[in-house]
């Protein structure tokens, strides 16, 4: 009886797979990276919920459809525009820069900053 050869320990006909290709990388879908991807998904979910609420409240069908299509288009365009303009971490850096003071205010006199007297009262 004929038996097939076993390639269990041989490198012949073995496919090589690269494992863990995306470890450490941020999530990406169709060019949207990390934060923009979540803004995009959350925005589309919010547009859908508003569309359903408007429709159930009795707003006209075509008005609801027009609102949904227009707001979804603006969301898609805006998200891809911000992704292209600021990059993966640029929008977070812009928000951080807005919350950071331009200069630090210190009310102590200049010569008191460098004095060795530690008996100053705390504010």
Question: pLDDT tens-digit profile of 83-102?
Answer: 888 777 777 787 787 777 77
pLDDT at res. 29: 66
Confirm if 39 and 86 have CB atoms less than 8 A apart. Answer: no
What is the H or E stretch that residue 28 is in? Answer: strand 28-29
- Ordered by start, the domain boundaries in the chain are 29-89
Tally of residues, the chain: 123
What average pLDDT does range 73-92 have in this prediction? 84
DSSP state, 103? S
Which pLDDT belongs to residue 12? 58
Alpha-carbon span 106 to 88, nearest angstrom: 35
Q: Which of 5-14, 65-74, 80-89 has the highest mean pLDDT?
A: 65-74
Please give the Cα distance from 94 to 107 (Å, whole number): 28
Write down the residue that tokens 């609801």 correspond to: 64
The string of pLDDT tens digits covering residues 19-70 is 767 676 776 667 777 788 888 889 999 999 999 999 999 999 999 999 999 9
CB atoms closer than 10 angstroms to residue 35: 19
Q: Three-class SS string for 59-80?
A: CCHHHHHHHHHHHHHHHHHHHH
Statement: the pTM of the whole predicted model exceeds 0.85:
no
């Amino acid at each position: 009886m004929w038996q097939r050869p076993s390639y269990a320990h041989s490198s012949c006909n073995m496919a090589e797979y690269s494992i863990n290709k995306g470890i450490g990388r941020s999530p990406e879908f169709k060019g949207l990276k990390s934060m923009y991807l979540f803004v995009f998904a959350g925005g589309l979910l919010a547009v859908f919920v508003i569309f359903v609420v408007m429709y159930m409240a009795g707003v006209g069908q075509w008005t609801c459809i027009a609102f949904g299509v227009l707001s979804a288009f603006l969301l898609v365009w805006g998200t891809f525009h911000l992704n292209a303009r600021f990059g993966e971490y640029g929008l977070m850096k812009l928000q951080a820069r807005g919350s950071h003071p331009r200069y630090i205010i210190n009310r102590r006199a200049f010569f008191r900053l460098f004095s060795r007297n530690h008996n100053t009262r705390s504010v």
